Structure 1
């Protein structure tokens, strides 16, 4: 896959160490935790004590989406349905902001504690998410260690060198601006996001003509999924192929969630 660079052994080793560093749970900590969101799955797996996390979402096992698919294979999965989660007898359910409202309401009515974490779209939000997960699991020390390692590795991989202009362009002609996770990754890797040329800060559509007019030095697209999709047809447009020969088809799993795994995405762009 062009543009893909193997993550450093330092990052891989540090993340692996965080998976191993789990001691006995604190008495006041929740003992049966269920995560029903891909991004909370990964933070919970990084921070939970042994035996504390009893289920993760089914997406956590998908290697196309999850940076911890192999680790997730050790956990029972759930599909975000209130009935199946209730039968797991959790004392804490951790969900994402866009989880089904009726499901969360039903779980709360059944007397189950439900905590919702917003998506992390910036470095500051990623740090806050790590801290919050540590608080929910009563694993503050583990969260502090993870945070320190994240900050240390971010300082190492963050680039102050200007690498040129880059375009984030996905299926259906969607782009991501600076105030998104993808934009944060791009900025940390030393690229100027062309979305800023058109006043785009969030995730929205961008006409192909404007991408071409911006003349980016690098074009970054999402990995294509199996099968045929009209939404992805725009990515095969001849104008894009001629625009930036140094095209990187990103690995979605490192870009999907605001977790320490974005370090691998930043390094891959370099």
Structure 2
């Protein structure tokens, strides 16, 4: 019974951990997509600036980072170096335990752009949020917003293209990681019902001697689990037939 209970708890714990990791990675994926949208907006604005007067304004999308206070009982993982929210909400309140945060993998963060080590992350009373606004800029302001090394429109365009390629690579890594975790999650989900059934069988045997009145309830519970397991097997077989 102890062995079966331990295995079942380990499986459930593993599933919960993977779901937390997927949630954190999905947020990072959407943040990366939003960043790419901002790059595209700047590229469009720079293209519109070509051949225009220096005083001609163009509309561009920009992101503003703001602090948002946490509600009572909420926790967060913030990167000290990147000043971004890497995991929210986080279940870990103590900064020294952030190595176990869902955002971390092998001690490094999978969310912040520099993949900083966990020691550079902390819990706090707020989280960083990004808001997108439309503003107007003249060409010189737009070029400067692309980086200090950008001296003209052409240089700014090349810089943004490089930034977009880097962002695309980050997005691909996130998608591959999500896919890998999802595969493991499906394996764990298929594994879990069998462990639960074994656990219920042991409970039934134990209850026959210790608490006979609960045997019938456990047997009913087992029937429901068997039905769920049969349904999962049926769905998997149907999917296999389709492919």
- Shared topology, TM-score over 0.5? no
Taking structure 2 as the reference length, what is the TM-score of the superposition? 0.25
Taking structure 1 as the reference length, what is the TM-score of the superposition? 0.24
